[in-house]
Amino acid sequence: MRTMTVVGASLAGVNSVQQLRQQGFDGRIVVVGEETHRPYDRPPLSKALLAGRADVDDLWLCDEEDQDELGAEWRLGVRAEQLDPAAGRVRLSDGAEIDTDGVVIATGGRARRLPGIEDMRGLHTVRTIEDALALRAELTGGAGEVVVVGAGWIGAEIASTCHELGLRVTLVESGEVPLSRTLGDAMGSVFAALHTDHGVSLRCRSRVSGLTNVADGDGRRVTGVWLDDGTQLPADVVVMGVGIQPVTEWLAGSGVAVDDGVLCDPGCVTELPSVVAVGDVARYRTATGGTVRHEHWNNAAEQSATAIRNLLAGSTIEHYRPSGYVWSDQYGVRLQIAGELHQPDEVEVVDGSPSDRRFVVAYRRSGETVGVLAMNNPKLFIRMRKQLAGRLATS
Ligand SMILES: Cc1cc2nc3c(=O)[nH]c(=O)nc-3n(C[C@H](O)[C@H](O)[C@H](O)COP(=O)(O)OP(=O)(O)OC[C@H]3O[C@@H](n4cnc5c(N)ncnc54)[C@H](O)[C@@H]3O)c2cc1C
């Protein structure tokens, strides 16, 4: 193989380039990135950058020197528009074509919008630097009342940052408690209390049915949110934190199967052995026969090691073993997760107390610890995470 094309110049894309070099690929690497920025880190977008505690310059994933050392061609501000595997070619939005022997799909996701809700001023999502800066400008430019829709990780972090900026915040969640699908109801209640104890108005079991708005110049501006029970919440700013949509439309007609992500085998290889997928866009088959797609930093950073090994080998010689490590910062509290956390598992507090917001909880299945959740307790968390990783490696 002489040329590799990495589509998507963010966390998973950069790690793929690094892995290609570390694993001995000395040919041509072309990185195609739709954004004009060099690769940057997204977690601060809902935290330090939004709060004004960090600048854009704190976000770069690697400095220019490190980027140069990788010896790749960076085609930034250009979109891949078509993959033609038979011809071994990627077509770009600027009309260029790249002849390539292998392709790494690292196109991540874009922020989802609720269906039927049209774009208007004051309505935001947070996925890019531009999104975060535009939201920050409104939050610090006289907004008083903010409604955040969705109390998942990103919605919760945005609510926390708005609180930090002194704004009145309402957080709307369709589930019984925040994060119940990921953490279960008991731990979800701990997160509900984290919001309400900081004065955030949390409205669970509520769905948004529309936005109220007024004419504003040549467009409209949001003034509030209608909930399905008829309640109207006033809002100067509305932020949607309702998940992401994997970016796959450019693969239409390529023969690469997609279904809420790029479908791949347990080694991140698609039906075409010369095409692999990594990061938020990759939906891989698990040992139990299901498929899973992760939307977390560590997955995007770790998955490329396996995907590139298989790409360079020309077949799947290794399966991906996710560490399942996730973190989040909200209201000055650090949350850490490792392994698998599912609703039916038994949940046991092994240290501290949820009411003190310093604890470690073990998630068990048939008596075995399968996951760990910690709040402000990094030492014990790290110990338990290592034990868990050791057990998973030998299982
Ligand atoms: C606000 C926010 C906060 C977060 N906080 C945390 C956190 O605290 N902890 C955690 O574990 N995770 C967090 N995450 C998730 C983490 O940032 C993502 O999992 C990670 O960014 C995924 O990386 P990726 O490279 O797979 O995809 P992305 O970061 O989405 O990058 C994909 C790139 O591909 C580009 N692209 C798309 N289509 C094309 C195309 N056709 N041609 C060329 N380029 C294309 C996109 O423009 C983008 O630059 C957060 C994410 C966000 C948005």
The CATH number for 26's domain is: 3.50.50.60
Distance 110 CA to ligand 1 centre (A): 8
Largest Cα–Cα distance in the chain? 63
3-state secondary structure (DSSP) of residue 308: helix
121 and 230, same domain (yes or no): yes
Please give the share of the chain, as a percent, with pLDDT higher than 90.
87
102 and 250, same domain (yes or no): yes
Q: What is the pLDDT of residue 245?
A: 97
CA distances from 192 to 74, 159, 173, 283, 330 (A): 44, 12, 10, 30, 12
In whole angstroms, give the CA distance from residue 207 to residue 230: 10
Q: pLDDT tens, 366-384?
A: 888 889 999 999 999 999 9
Of 360 and 345, the structure prediction assigns the larger pLDDT to: 360
Q: By the 8 A CB rule, do 324 and 166 touch? A: no
In whole angstroms, give the CA distance from residue 338 to residue 13: 23
In the chain, how many domains are there? 3
Indicate which residue's Cα is closest to atom 2 of ligand 1.
43
Name the amino acid, one letter, at 33: G
204 and 127, same domain (yes or no): yes
99 and 127, same domain (yes or no): no
3-state secondary structure (DSSP) of residue 37: coil
Domain that holds residue 208: 113-242
Q: What is the token pair recorded at 340?
A: 């698998």
119 and 141, same domain (yes or no): yes
Indicate which residue's Cα is closest to atom 38 of ligand 1.
107
106 and 252, same domain (yes or no): yes
In whole angstroms, give the CA distance from residue 394 to residue 381: 20
237 and 127, same domain (yes or no): yes
Residues with CB under 6 A from ligand 1: 7-13, 32-35, 42-43, 45-46, 79-80, 106-109, 126-127, 154, 247, 250, 279-280, 295-298, 300, 326-328
Please give the share of the chain, as a percent, with pLDDT higher than 70.
98
Distance 231 CA to ligand 1 centre (A): 34
Indicate which residue's Cα is closest to atom 28 of ligand 1.
108
179 and 205, same domain (yes or no): yes
Q: pLDDT tens, 74-117?
A: 999 999 999 999 999 999 999 999 999 999 999 999 999 999 89
Does the residue 386 lie in any domain?
Answer: yes
Q: What is the mean pLDDT of the chain?
A: 95
394: confidence class by pLDDT, cuts 50, 70, 90: low
Q: Quote the pTM value.
A: 0.96
